[in-house]
Structure 1
């Protein structure tokens, strides 16, 4: 990590020079933090002279990063990995892909970022003078989840090194990039002279998860025939107690740091008890792939079931937290969500999927990610209701995960067991959200605090 690599078979002493440039860094989408502008100072080490046919090694030492580790969490040892690009100019054109190992000392909150040196190789194919100029770079943090902060120059950057290439030699030296724990492809050598061969930028992918599919459908509700997207099931004095809903397709738009769009199948079932209804809301299996490794008990879903027809307002239903740890990239199932609906009006009342919220708790921080229904959701269930004192009309009734009993919230609005309201933020949000940690780490002051704290 201590800088100094020069030409692998140096024909002349290596040179080192510092270059500073204004930089804009974009924190991970899951962090919800705005772009930050700062100054990057880089020292490039490369041979002053070499011969055509030589393969030389270049070292990028980040003397000063464009940000500090915010006052959010300490970064552990060997969790930071940089990758970047050098522009080749002068009598040759191309790029050199740079990569550093995942190697760093512990970085406390509110302290300077410490990045390991990056290395790359360049094969020289024609005589002349070539220049090497620092360009964009990426900072990957592996814990608590893999996140990337992408930094690009905001002004013309001066070359940081010049190599005089002379005819002769023909021998080619070999070498490679310093390897560490990589999150992407390993960088390869680059040929100066117009083409870049086999080099790809290494680095982890930005957490955020994948967007589950599912098309919007005008589903029908329990009871029988299809009528304008919903059909009624008798909830009155017929003696029936179980009212199964129809599976409907819903698309959700999630707030940052969640995914912009996710889809899921949703079914709302009801069981009558006295004048109230115990609701159970089911979502599709494998709504999305987990964006990170999450421990048991870290993720908890809830939903605001929208009331229509005779009744108004919403009913909150909540589900238990994940019982088993979630693995990065593996499909995630949301637990069934339950709550109690106490009607506030008499007549035909409809129940449709509403805002879905994912609460993630990690490291003592609780983050709520809401996802709102895009457009209008189809009705899943229609009931013949009889108004109850303190019922939901115009408000939300309360419910708690795993229980059908619930009181009414002041004002009659459906309240739910979940502390925060929100929408089904893509599961990916979940991990990502909880992981403001890793990504926020590289956003620069001022730092925006997580919205929900315990």
Structure 2
């Protein structure tokens, strides 16, 4: 009876684990292992967190040399719950994990999951998709599978988790030669894995590659009196080759804390200057659309992705770094936008590209003051004047409105200065 219960439990685990076998001569096996990890959030996301994660690894019990099998990692219990800062939206979390193959194969295999998850409320358990990877078995013998480090990517911002104690073997595959023996033989090369994208900060432009993901860099913005304390947020610059140029997409932190008041559609429109370095110089402007839908009271708030095109003026290695951020605020439809310029006082290189000079190509000249569309004056909201009294009165009602960019908040606050001119 106990044996029957164990078999039934294993069958249920396989059914709900979604485990798949690509090519396998034997039945699948699924086993759980728990181990302590330390998770390091992205810059600005708080300090390290320790906890115990439970992982189920599924792989075939037996296979032959030359088989390509699939290993599946299911996170049964995450190391920690979601924080109390914000709700995580649907399909915003992508996990990546690494397993060690011991015994006959001595290598590490990368497993990737889909960006697929239900909405995850504050303080609720993290829910991550199963991670999968393929391994070509090249040597006979027992192959052990041990889970290890893993990353959790939330809309481009990655938390890195690594073991802080010894991890037990989760599964063992008995790999035989073509004649059915398990003695050592065959080649000694390790297994192969599915490949993910480049990790950011890589060099682009050669080898037929078209997509060049950047790495998140922590940027501190000084917005003057408009935003006391400024803004700190990770910024990522991604590029896609388009002929001789590159289409850029710039992302700030996705997700936000609850807004204390309703914001109309079109209230927040971001733009940013991307500073060129290395072989080229100047800036490239990227802009994002305003929020298409109204933002209800207490709903999450974030800035849209910003896009633009870089046409190289010089050949060589060119670095791209986040520079000035500008936010146009329109509190009433049809009113003149209020320009909020935020100077980048600290930044870093997010991406490096290999470029070939194009006719008429070059970065835009670096300019001081506000970005295009701004007044270029230094007084923030107060210097826009009272020509749009209705818009300013509407904006003044937003005193205390808080918008989170990653772990940073900015608050529109110069209402004492505006009060005398808007009544």
| TM-score, structure 1 normalization | 0.47
CA radius of gyration, larger in: 1
Higher RCO, Cα 8 Å, sep 6+: 1
TM-score w.r.t. structure 2 length?
A: 0.50
